[in-house]
Structure formats: C-alpha cells, structure tokens
Amino acid sequence: MKPRLDWIGAGLFAALLAVAPLFLNAYQVDVLNSIGLYALLALGLNLILGEAGLFNMGHAAFYAMGAYTAAILNTRYQIPILWTLPLSGLVAGAFALAVARPVVHLRGDYLLIVTIGVGEIVRIALVNDVFGITGGANGIFGINRPRVFGYIIRRPEDFFYLIWGCVALTIFLFLRLKRSRFGRALNYLREDATAAEGSGINTDYYKLAVFGLGAAWAGMAGTLFAAKMTIISPESFSFWESVVLFMIVILGGAGSIPGVLLAAFLVVGLPELFREFAGARMLVFGLVMMVMMVVRPQGLWPARGHQGFSLAALARAVGP
C-alpha cells in the first residue's frame, strides 16, 4: 500500500508542477527554473554523497566544466547548444576521473578538503583565462538559444518544461540505478567500505565510477544553465554554489530523491520570498544546519530502509 501511495503522491506533484506555469508570472516561473537546475545538480551530488558516502564540496567545478564546454563549442564552432549535452557530460566526467584517481583512497574531511581545492583551482583558472578560451573574468557572451525541432526556446515557460523534463528523466534513471547491482554496491560502500572490500567489492572502481557519473550530470546541467543565461562567467561557479548543493543533499536526506527535491525548493525558493534578508542568508543557513543536527539529523525526508548519510555522520567524520 505504501509504494502505491508514493506513486500517487509523485503523480499529483508532477501534475501540479506541469500546470504551474499557467498560473504563475514570468518571474515565478524563472524561480522554478532555478530550483530545477539546482535539483538536477543536487541529484548528481546525491549519487556521490548520499549513495556512496563520499564527501564532495567541489561540485561547482564540474558544473563549470560542462557550462564552459557547451559555451565554447557553441560560440566558436556554432554547434547547437543542446547537441553539446553529451560532450559536456563527458568532459566533466573525464575531469572528475582525472582528479579523483589519485585521491580516491582518502576519506572524510581529507577528501572534502581536496574537492574544495579542486573547485577553487577551476574557478581561478577560468578567471585567469587559461589557454585563452574562457574569456577571463568577463566570461563568454553570445551563447545561442536552444532549438527543439526548429522552435527557439526563449521564454521562461519554455525553459521550465525543458529543465523539469530533464529532472524527471534523471529521477527515473537514478531510481533504476539505485535498485541495480551498482546502486547496492554504492550503499555497501557508504555503510562500511572496509567490509565491502572484504566482501569482494572493488571499492576504488565504484568510487571512481560514481564520481564520474555524478560529475557528468553536473556537466550536462551546466549546458542547460549556459543555454538559459546565454552568458556565463566564473562568478556563477563559486564555492558558495558547492555549499548550497551540499546543503540541499544533507538537509533533504542524503540518498533520498524526494528529500533532495524538497530541500531544493526550500533552499533555493525560500530566499526569493525573503530577498530583503539576502545579506543574512549565510547566517540563516548556518542556524538551520545547527537546528537540523539536533532536531532531525537524518534530514527532512530520509531515504527509506536506512538512515542515510546524515548531519550527525558529517559531524562525526569532520570532528576531532
């Protein structure tokens, strides 16, 4: 009975979301677009952090790799922006594999520090216009709008269905992955890497694979961001973006897809309702994390069947 209710709830949520642009103004639809992009990014990070239990606070670096790959291919070689989606994912995934290979054995706060460093290295490289193709601090201008069967996507409502269609496809694929042998191996890795390795699971392989897959999804989300904005710059991929994504996964309930969606709405959507308090955003988020650690450390919507990777586990891992 419980799975049936879950499907009914998911169907009602999808139906409500599908008709939302008919009743909202352009600004409100654009906020939903931002929520969708962050949800897409957080779902990729959820694979790495929630399913495999690997600390990653440099997810914005892979997001940037995808966005800049799409922007360069589109502006320099006139490749349609949506055609660059798979290549952006491949570039971001390959970069993640190259970065993770020498540090994949690290755990806890050591891996966390490395990923923070990677994110900052990528941002600084973009600002300094390495290889002369990123446009430096000014970024890349003139990215073409995407086309679908000759129709130019330019209105917020058009991007809404494109972005949330990608979110729906991602949820379907990741649910299948979660229930597969690969997904079960990731869960064993999260719960006890030593026991998993003793059971014959190649932990290094699965760590690299999930890092590459999560990064590839961030790269493809970067393509959608570039198509939506038509201009990108390094400041769009700062450390704060990685912090927000990390917060979405942890607050929602690591390993929980519904939790990630709920947290994306709260973390990205609520600040738009209280823009006059934007200066206190980091203070508010810090207080929320503290309260959640005490009141509900497993997250707002924990994954069924296990406690998931929680705020309490994070505190234990990075604590003394």
Residue type, 245: L
Boundaries of every domain in the chain: 26-236
pLDDT per residue as tens digits for the range 98-155: 999 998 888 778 888 999 999 999 999 999 988 889 999 999 999 999 998 888 999 9
d(CA 245, CA 268) in angstroms, rounded, equals 10
DSSP state of 140: B
Find, among 47, 36, 34, 32, the residue nearest to 216 by Cα: 47
What pTM was computed for the model?
0.91
The CB-side HSE value for 54 (13 A sphere, CA atoms) comes to 31
3-state secondary structure 210-264: HHHHHHHHHHHHHHHHHHHHCCECHHHHCHHHHHHHHHHHHHHCCCCHHHHHHHH
Mean pLDDT of 296-308: 71
Residues 77-110: tens digit of each pLDDT: 999 999 999 999 999 999 999 999 998 888 778 8
Position with higher pLDDT, 274 vs 89: 89
HSE-CB at 1 with a 13 A cutoff on CA atoms is: 0
C-alpha–C-alpha distance, residues 90 and 84, integer Å: 10
